[in-house]
C-alpha cells in the first residue's frame, strides 16, 4: 500500500539549528523558544545520561514547554538507523507500484538515526511543519554522533519532509558535527548568573542576521510558559513525513 501524501510536495522545508556553549538552561530556553516560534509544540529527547546528567532547571523548561511529546534519555545506539528497517520495507516496495521518487524518499527516511525516527513518529505537526529538539548531544560526543548528525544526507532528509531539528551542545562541537547545520549560535552564561543575562552570538545566521552579532537572551526571550496539550489526535499520522 502506498501513501498518497508521499507523492505530494512538502510545502515547508525544515531547518537545522545548532546551539552550543555554556549554560545548559540558557541553551534549553533558546532551543524551546525557537521551536515554539516554528510550530508551537514540539517533540524532544534529552541525550544526557548518568555520566553527563542534565541540569534539573533545564529539564523543567523542556517538560513545561515541550507539549505532550517527550522522550527518555537517548542511548548512543539510537544514533544508528533501526536494525533491518530498510531491508524490511524493501520487501513490499518491490511488490507495490510506488513511484521511484517516493521510494527513494522512504528509503532515505529509514536511514535516519533511530532517535529521530522515534520522535518524528510521535510529534504532532501544524501545516506540514514539525520540530524535534535534542538537548545535551555532547553526552553522545564521538564518532557515532559525528557520523549521525554530521551527515548532510540526514539534514536534507529532515528538511525535505518538513522537519526542523534543533540541538544543544554543552561546549564546543567538532567541525564535522557543525558543518551541515543551517544556523549555529554560541551561547555564554557565566556560572551563577540567570539565563536571561546570557549572551548569544551568531556564528552562522539566518536571513537578516550578521555573523558575529551578539545579543542578550533576556532581551528577546520571555519567561517560558507551559503549553496546552496539542489538539491533533493522538496516534494520527502527521502529514509532514513518510510512514
Which residues, 6 or more positions from 146, have their beta carbon under 8 angstroms from its beta carbon?
Answer: 174, 176, 177
Q: Which residues of the chain have pLDDT under 50?
A: 1-6, 68, 226-240, 243
Please give the pLDDT value at position 242. Answer: 52
Please give the pLDDT value at position 228. Answer: 42
Place of cell 542578550: 216
- The domain made up of 11-81+113-220 has a fold known as Rossmann fold (3.40.50)
Residues 97 and 217: their CA atoms lie apart, in Å, by: 51
Please give the pLDDT value at position 224. Answer: 54
Where along the chain do its domains lie?
11-81+113-220
- DSSP track, 52-96: SPPPHHHHHHHHHHSTT--B-PPPGGGGSPPTTHHHHHHHHHHHS
Residues 43 and 228: their CA atoms lie apart, in Å, by: 14
Residues 203 and 225: their CA atoms lie apart, in Å, by: 28
Please give the pLDDT value at position 235. Answer: 42
Please give the pLDDT value at position 230. Answer: 38
> ∠77-80-81 over CA atoms, to 5°?
125
Place of cell 528538511: 159
Please give the pLDDT value at position 104. Answer: 78
Please give the pLDDT value at position 232. Answer: 42
Amino acid at each position: 500500500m502506498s501513501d498518497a501524501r508521499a507523492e505530494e510536495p512538502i510545502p515547508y522545508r525544515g531547518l537545522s539549528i545548532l546551539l552550543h556553549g555554556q549554560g545548559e538552561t540558557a541553551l534549553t530556553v533558546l532551543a524551546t523558544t525557537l521551536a515554539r516560534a516554528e510550530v508551537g509544540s514540539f517533540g524532544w529527547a534529552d541525550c544526557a545520561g548518568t555520566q553527563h546528567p542534565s541540569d534539573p532547571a533545564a529539564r523543567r523548561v523542556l517538560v513545561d514547554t515541550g507539549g505532550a511529546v517527550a522522550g527518555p534519555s537517548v542511548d548512543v545506539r539510537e544514533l544508528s538507523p533501526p536494525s533491518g528497517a530498510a531491508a524490511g520495507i524493501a520487501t513490499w516496495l518491490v511488490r507495490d507500484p510506488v513511484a521511484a521518487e517516493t521510494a527513494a524518499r522512504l528509503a532515505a527516511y529509514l536511514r535516519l538515526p533511530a532517535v529521530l525516527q522515534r520522535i518524528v513518529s510521535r510529534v504532532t505537526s501544524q501545516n506540514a511543519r514539525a520540530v524535534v529538539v535534542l538537548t545535551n548531544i555532547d553526552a553522545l560526543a564521538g564518532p557515532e554522533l559525528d557520523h549521525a548528525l554530521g551527515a548532510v544526507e540526514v539534514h536534507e532528509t529532515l528538511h525535505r519532509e518538513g522537519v526542523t531539528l534543533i540541538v544543544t551542545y554543552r561546549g564546543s562541537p567538532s567541525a564535522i558535527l557543525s558543518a551541515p547545520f543551517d544556523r549555529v549560535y554560541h551561547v555564554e552564561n557565566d556560572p551563577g548568573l540567570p539565563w536571561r543575562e546570557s549572551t548569544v552570538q551568531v556564528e552562522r545566521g539566518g536571513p537578516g542576521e550578521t555573523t558575529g552579532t551578539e545579543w542578550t537572551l533576556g532581551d528577546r526571550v520571555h519567561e517560558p510558559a507551559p503549553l496546552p496539550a496539542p489538539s491533533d489526535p493522538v496516534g494520527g499520522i502527521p502529514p509532514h513525513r513518510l510512514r
